[in-house]
Chains A and B, each alone.
Chain A
Amino acid sequence: MTAVAIVALLTAGWFQGTSATAPVRTATIKGRVVRADGRALARVRVRLMISQSGPPLVTETDLDGQFEFNSLRAGTYTLAASKPGYVDVEFAQRRWPGHGQPITVAVGETRDRVDLVLPRTAAIVGRVVDEDGEPVEGAGIAVLESRLASGRRRLVPVQAAGGRTNDQGRFRVYGLKPGRYYVSATVGQTDFIPSNRDLPGYAPTYFPGTPNPAEAQAVALGLSQDASGIDFAIVPMRTASVSGTAFQADGAPVVGGLRLVSSQRSGLAISMNARIDPDGSFEFPNVAPGEYVVQMFKSRPNTYTEGEFASALVTVSGANVTGLSLHAAAGSTITGRITLDGSGTIRPNGVELVLTSIDADLSSPESGATRAEIHEDWTFRLAGISGPRRLRVVRTPAGWMVKAIFVNGIDVTDTPLPFGTRDQSLSDVDVVLTNRITQVSGTVTDARGDPATDAMVVAFSTDRDRWYPESRFFDAARIADGKFTLRGLPSGDYFVVAIDEGSDWQEAALLDLLTTRATRVTLSDGQQTAVNLKVTGR
């Protein structure tokens, strides 16, 4: 028996066409999903997507691992399979991270043997004890990756990978893809009950037993390879409490949204919630020595307005820190207009204007950028803004790019601007778009001279002062059929180079390395240029 996809009925606007005018739906894609050992894998969720947007068609494999999508329009599809406990795989994917190959079907065509192998995810297994070798129950276990965050290399928790030690001190963190990981254990914090103090006197400890993240030892996981024996002892250290009072912008005591996080200036990855009293006093118990920031924030009321915010940098070194005083600011307002340099019939909804953060300690930790509300008359508005920021146009209609951003006639295109108070509000911001856009395009070949796959092309300014997070002097493009195109880089001198997909390439040390094998390109306003690149590996 073969499972057949049932076209979605749940989401508005997605109906299977049945009228005479509907395009012909006669193509079929079918195949089989197996384990690494070749045995059939049942109940695998198989998704078929015709484009990035829109809901995928979904089906499930039968007991023989077979799946089939029929009544398809001709076109190019991507196909992916997933099952809890297994690594998500796209059709013909060979690397992790990476991408598979698209599947193209013609009218009436049946594409058979679209087969996939699902490898199991890997796990890290170990045990946490105290200084006397007794098991520690309930220690929070985080699996971390060394990642570039806000321009610094830090240990960042892997999403949805974590857990707690059991009564024997044992942990098993599973669902991991191949990679290099770090493991930390934390006691003294109970996630769900912030008002509860827990065992004091231990530093967050990294495998193989150090409080210093720089001394943490990486655990390398191959595909479907478990790492066991990740046993370590938590390190006793004098912990202290951090306390104070916090008030909202309207003067009322804080009720929530108060956390202590390790400062961007440190290499730690700690985040804890406060215990808060009705009068606005708060306390974070059991804080190990380190550099932190206390952040008070509210969620954003809409996409163009940030919630109120306050922060205080704190250094803890064993003694209690008391008397912190936080008063949230309602933030600054930014208004202005978008001007078009050149003629064309583009509409404001094709433009996305955001604020990037210069210092994550001093801006709201809410995920996702704040996007300007752009009106039909090209005026725009941002509100509730706090912290040092840059204005950045991240999306333009095809054929347009940003030329410059002015405040009261002064060019601030790449200048950090301070926000937080009403005085720091801006009301005369002019964002100029031009249709004279730059373009760098070309071909990429591998060592044998064939069109490259599983690689991407990056371009970065030759000026190191332009190397900061979310710089517009950085750009990257995926390679399709051995070709790439980068559009809309500002004029200037660039290095262009092909590298492996999925790497953290925007790190200064890596960029320095890349300069040695990159091709140098000079772009003037509106210039279009071509380069041919070779994949040389990292």
Chain B
Amino acid sequence: MRARSMLICGVLLTVCCGLFMTLEARGNWDFVLWFRGRKLAALLLVGVAVSTATLLFQTISRNHILTPSTMGFDALFTLIVTLAVFTIGAAGYNHLPSELVFFVNLFLLIGAALLLFGTLLGQHRVDLMRMVLTGIIFGFLFRSLTSFVFRMIDPSEFATIQVSSYARFNYIELNLLWLAAGLTLVTLLLCWRMRRQLDILSLGFEIATNLGEPVAKRQKQALVLVAVLVAVSTALVGPVAFLGLLVVSIARLIAPNETHAMLIPLSALIAGIVLVGGQTILERVLGMSTPLAVVIDFVGGFVFLALLLRKGWT
């Protein structure tokens, strides 16, 4: 049973990748493989980063509806970029090495995440309602601040920000790809090593304490990992609001058990299928008529609503 759902998803993902690489490929194969291969790698990276970040965040907040993006994580990332462009100007910003920008962003995001959510999670009895509301308000605050800065900024500088504040799967920051790949792999390895502790964390503060886990410390560790993964995916393709929620919900639906050893790989596979499959269909079948992010947010929004309504009834 465990192997079966994993196997089916694995096969589906391979088919999607195969189609993505070969469908309507014309001309020089070296070029096609290189061009599409990089894009495929970026899509897979984003998929695994977003799904794992969402899963970890749901575990430490013990809620299956929250995602890092509903709590304003990627809005925070966009705000940091916007403020950077605003203070040093587009020319200065574009001259900075993108790796440097990425790392500064990453550390600011980790710091802010620990500051904002670390204190909320650190409480012994997490008041969920308060946490959700605080997260939503933070998200609004970050977005409003961003649009406030938009209004004061030079139009040419605005264009620079726009690139980083909307999800884009057609133009991907490929210069960051190796860096992002390395960081993601290290972070994933740490997540995987934490999988048993994460299972215990999902039992809640009291039971986890009873079993001898240092809950507050683990939550902070997980929060740092979430921040790294969100930073990687946002830097590569921009904010994707509902992707994480969509894939983790599907994974929970088809997984035979809810251990992290099961959910981490399964939701990553599903994220890959959604991103690579969706991009293939949009590029090759629908002729790029709709951005993938719009479709994902549309479907993900419905999943979010369905989850909310189902929670309300039970």
Is this pair of chains taken from one and the same complex? no
Q: Which residues of B contact A (CB under 8 A)?
A: none
